Amino acid sequence: MTETALSSEQITDTLVLPYLNHALNMYAEGYASRVDIDAAMRFGCGYPVGPLTAAEQIGLTQVRDGLAALFAATGDELHRPAPLLESLVAEGATSLSAQGSTEGAAAPEFKHEIRTVGVVGTGTMASGIVEVFAKGGYDVVYVGRTQEKLDGVVAGITTSLDKAIARGKFTEEGKAEVLARLTGAITREALSDVDLVVEAIAEDLDVKTELFADLDRITKPGAVLATTTSSLPISQCAAATSRPESVIGMHFFNPAPVMKLVEVVTTEQTAAEVDETTRALCAALGKVAVSCGDRAGFIVNALLFPYLNDAIKLHQTGVELDVVNTAVKEQAKFPMGPFELLDVVGNDVSLAIQKELHTEFKHDGFAPAPLLEQVVAEGRLGRKTKRGFHDYA
């Protein structure tokens, strides 16, 4: 592949300016507040600042001009400067409004009592969520298919706590208390008296809707039913129950004990008190909750994956992987280059999310990059297969 001669600044502008544009459009649509959009990308991706603050720091006029140049070169509608950006520049504004500021806002309160939490699943994400709740002082009933899988959850949490103890961040007494709060079960009937259930099973809508119908049957009236899905419609999970007002999204980020962000996703039928209780619960767990509606990608994935997809397209034009990675880390101060991140997330996961975004928003620019489809077809899924865009053998 012949390297295209682009400067670090040009590479960064090509990738980061459209990301800022997507965030400006998201904000203008009222999908999420300014505070929540910025917090989502800071705490979900480790970025130094959120995209709306970044646009102000770069300069709204400079962002508009850079996007206009990109649009003239590509004709991609996703590069057309956001109408909000155009209007702000026309007005001579240098910043967005303070809409969405949390200054002076009342902290969310528990409208439902949450004492015991259920978790369905025994994978990495489920185990991390169990640990988060148990460390937060909640009794946790977790459900898996076999005793072996249940034992694996305890083993994983024990290892995690032992590492924290070795670093001086936890105590043996605290470890004993956390483990004492765990109750494993191989039948969902054990969830009959919990106050909230979080499901963290396979990203398969049929599997999830079957589970929600069963949880509706098993759990007590008033129990909150949450999903940690990153891409599937929560409204369809809710439709499988007789209590759609009690169904909400709690999208934790992996690893759940470390990552502070939780996207709290409401459907049109989610009750206000369920939403507020969920946000209060996140605060009690030491998490940063951001609010958004039920559509593909929520905040983080809807902004992150088009940027990653654009990086692959740029690489296809001849810009080397390491050149792109280095440019973004040096210029935008992102903690990882796009190809490093793709390999961590998993290229199969990235492809699935990009397809969801393309289906939801119907922008040609969101179509998965051909090279992404190719590496997945070749089994180059990233670190988990020892080979992705980079080789880890």
Please list the active-site residues.
Answer: 230, 251, 263, 301
DSSP labels for 338-350?
HHHHHHHH-HHHH
Total Cβ atoms within 10 A of residue 7? 10
Contact 193, 116 (CB under 8 A): yes
3-state helix, strand, coil in the chain (%, to 5): 55, 10, 35
Compute the distance between CA of residue 292 and CA of residue 298 in angstroms, rounded to an integer.
7
Residue 135 structure tokens: 């460390």
**Dihedral over alpha carbons 238, 239, 240, 246 (to 10 degrees):** 30
User: How many other C-beta atoms are found inside a 10 Å radius of the C-beta of residue 57?
Assistant: 11
Write a three-state SS string for 270-329.
CCHHHHHHHHHHHHHCCCEEEEEECCCCCCHHHHHHHHHHHHHHHHHCCCCHHHHHHHHH
Strands 247-252 and 261-266: antiparallel
* Amino acid in the structure at residue 130: V
Q: Tell me how far apart the terminal alpha carbons of the chain are, to the nearest angstrom.
A: 22
